[in-house]
Structure 1
């Protein structure tokens, strides 16, 4: 356990690098901008079929979450890039060999590194949602929008539930990013394969065979959040309990496969 903590501590120190913090900055800025655009459209009276649900939810306790949740695809994509690129860079930069000399127990090192990466992803997500939510709450009175429903007990309860499901979603995305990085061992390939799978491949399968795609990891991780607030993502076709169970199984499976593959790989300088 001590070696895991040491690996965790050494990775936490890397969070101070500008290249790492840039991911958090991009997540906050882009998500806040998307939330602002969504809010501005609704507040200015925009209409359209795609806006109907958002407009109906806007003045309810779900309103704030419905607005800031429109940037979820960006949060998921950046989280996947953070994990896959950070882990795969150990091979690309040739630093993995030196790290394993200091910590020869590979799984302990991987566990410490992934705990640090997941913590960073979750803190980035929390900062993003808090900043974008606070920004919308500050803008609302100037547009004549009442926010009592958003900050009511029901509204805060919905936000907390949304936050919990989003955290579980990003833990799953992080596990997926870990497996892709371990299999590809290249930053460019890991990021490209990860994004192509999440954004393209599963989307195509969802159109062709939705009954099958609903059990794929990306869809499962995404839909558990949509079960809380349908306006921020697709609702699980199999129901929330089944989707939650599938999400947990996928996380365990991704971690187990990574733990089997990683110790058996050759590591070259």
Structure 2
């Protein structure tokens, strides 16, 4: 009961701290990434016919494995939003890692725990606030993405009638849910890495270097990397599964990493001196 009470107090206290310019900047960047991804995906989609040349074969804009025919389908409404999920996850990871390391650097946690010794409750409340903010930011980004997708599709002459069907609504809902789950995993990973390392530079260097360039380099020579490494598994979840990792597999791996990270963060926070 004490943990629950401490979590509720922490949630309310952390909500107050969200009213900062930095929060608006982070949400703005997240929305900008989603909009940029949507513009690129829709505007650079290959106009090849289903039986014709495919994207990346030298006959159309490379880098986006999507055609205008695919965009005209019911799932096309969510392709722009999910296409930028990797970069959105990176941004969320960075923001969470920086936010928690600043708490140590500025001495906030030391002062806080003098008044509220329930560290597990504080951690639960902090994570709950973070995930609530992420969910709302992604919802706003989704709305902007759809609006931009409709505008750009109109310029390119892509039929969007299938977007407003029941299948389109399901595709949009599943796309949002998948990106939200991946973002949750990235947020937990960034928060816990910051708790363990307590250094902004170290947390960002290790986290970003491992989960992005290093994992992708290994992936080029080992197809099983998406089923083992956290960053690739999180990204596979956001895409609804990839060739090397099914959605269920990626979700189980991502959830295992998130639960393990949360457990490690709780142990680290409760057993280490916050001044160390």
How many Å separate the matches in 1 of 2:165 and 2:91? 31
TM-superposed CA distance for 1:247, in Å, is 2.1
Pick the structure with more helix per residue.
Answer: 1
1:136-175 alignment, distance < 5 Å:
136-175=149-188
TM-score where L is the length of structure 1: 0.89
Per-residue CA deviations over 1:208-234 (Å, capped at 9, x if unaligned) read 333245222211111123236xxxxxx
User: What is the aligned partner in structure 2 of residue 265 from structure 1?
Assistant: 272
SS of the residue corresponding to residue 30 of structure 2 reads helix
Moved more, 139-148 or 193-202: 139-148
Distance change (3 Å), C-alpha of 1:142 and 1:239? closer
Q: Are 1:194 and 2:201 an aligned pair?
A: no
Q: Does 1:59 align with 2:62?
A: no
Indicate which of 206, 212, 224 corresponds to 1:211: 224
More off after superposition, 207-216 vs 94-103: 207-216
Query: Any stretches of 5+ residues in structure 1 without a counterpart?
Result: 229-234
- Other-structure match for 1:251: 258
Moved over 6 A (4+): 43-46
- 2:40 is equivalent to residue 37 of structure 1: yes
Matches within 5 A, 1:14-29: 14-29=17-32
Which piece of structure 1 moves more, 121-130 or 15-24? 121-130
CA RMSD of aligned residues (A): 2.2
Using the TM superposition, give the Cα deviation of residue 236 of structure 1 relative to its aligned residue in structure 2, in angstroms.
Answer: 5.2
How far did 1:5 drift? 0.8
The number of equivalent residue pairs is 263
The alignment's TM-score, normalised by the length of structure 2, stands at 0.87
In the alignment, is the contact (CA less than 8 A) between 1:220 and 1:236 conserved in 2?
Answer: no
Q: Which moved more, 1:129-138 or 1:205-214?
A: 205-214
Counterpart for residue 237 of structure 1: 244
The verdict on how the C-alpha distance between 1:89 and 1:223 changes in structure 2, with shifts beyond 3 A counting, is same
